[in-house]
């Protein structure tokens, strides 16, 4: 009987071992499958987050390059605009300076012309005075009065000329200043 009991015990042990092994295999297989699914999900998440991080990095890099490009374009545009403004200001200054020089030259020529005219008139007056002295000895009465009136009119004309010259000079200078202010 003992052999039968041993055989039954051994068969029961084998059955228990087989059942436990089957249970362990099933449990191991389900856990392995769960582990693979979890690992696959984790890998997919890691891959997705790495891809998203890479995409964000590429996007940020492109934005940085775009901003840098726009800054460079704006800098170039600003430099061109400032250069154009500088060139325009230089041209206006040069034109204003030339206008000033031409106005100054005009005034100088005008002053020289009036000076020559005045000098000629003064010589004429000097000659008139000498002539008046000559004739005063010869004719004192009416001739002296006539020459005196003539000399007085000449002096009045000279004074009037001087006033006209001053007014013209002031007017010309005023016009030149106005023109210079408009161009400046």
Q: What is the pLDDT of residues 105-134, one digit of tens each?
A: 998 888 889 899 988 888 887 787 777 677
Contact assessment for residue 94 and residue 184, using Cβ atoms and an 8 Å cutoff: no
pLDDT tens column, 5-60: 888 888 998 999 999 999 999 999 999 999 999 999 999 999 999 999 999 999 99
pLDDT tens column, 52-93: 999 999 999 999 999 999 999 999 999 999 999 999 999 999
pTM of the model: 0.35
Contact assessment for residue 82 and residue 119, using Cβ atoms and an 8 Å cutoff: no
Helix axes 142-183, 2-138, angle to 10 degrees: 180
Residue 146 burial (CB count, 10 A): 13
Contact assessment for residue 104 and residue 116, using Cβ atoms and an 8 Å cutoff: no
Whole-angstrom Cα distance, residue 62 to residue 65? 5
**Count of positions (residues) in the chain:** 184
The full DSSP string for 39-87 is HHHHHHHHHHHHHHHHHHHHHHHHHHHHHHHHHHHHHHHHHHHHHHHHH
């Amino acid at each position: 009987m003992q052999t039968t009991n041993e055989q039954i015990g051994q068969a029961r042990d084998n059955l228990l071992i087989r059942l436990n092994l089957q249970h362990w295999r099933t449990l191991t297989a389900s856990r392995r499958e769960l582990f693979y699914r979890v690992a696959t999900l984790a890998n997919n998440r890691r891959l997705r987050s790495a891809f998203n991080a890479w995409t964000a990095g590429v996007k940020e890099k492109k934005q940085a390059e775009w901003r840098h490009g726009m800054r460079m374009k704006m800098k170039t545009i600003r430099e061109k605009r400032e250069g154009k403004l500088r060139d325009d200001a230089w041209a206006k200054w040069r034109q204003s300076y030339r206008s000033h020089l031409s106005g100054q030259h005009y005034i100088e020529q005008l002053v020289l012309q009036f000076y020559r005219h005045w000098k000629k008139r003064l010589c004429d007056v000097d000659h008139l005075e000498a002539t008046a002295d000559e004739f005063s000895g010869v004719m004192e009465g009416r001739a002296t009065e006539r020459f005196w009136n003539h000399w007085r009119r000449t002096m009045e004309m000279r004074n009037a000329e001087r006033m006209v010259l001053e007014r013209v000079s002031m007017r010309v200078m005023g016009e030149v200043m106005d023109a210079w202010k408009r161009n400046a």
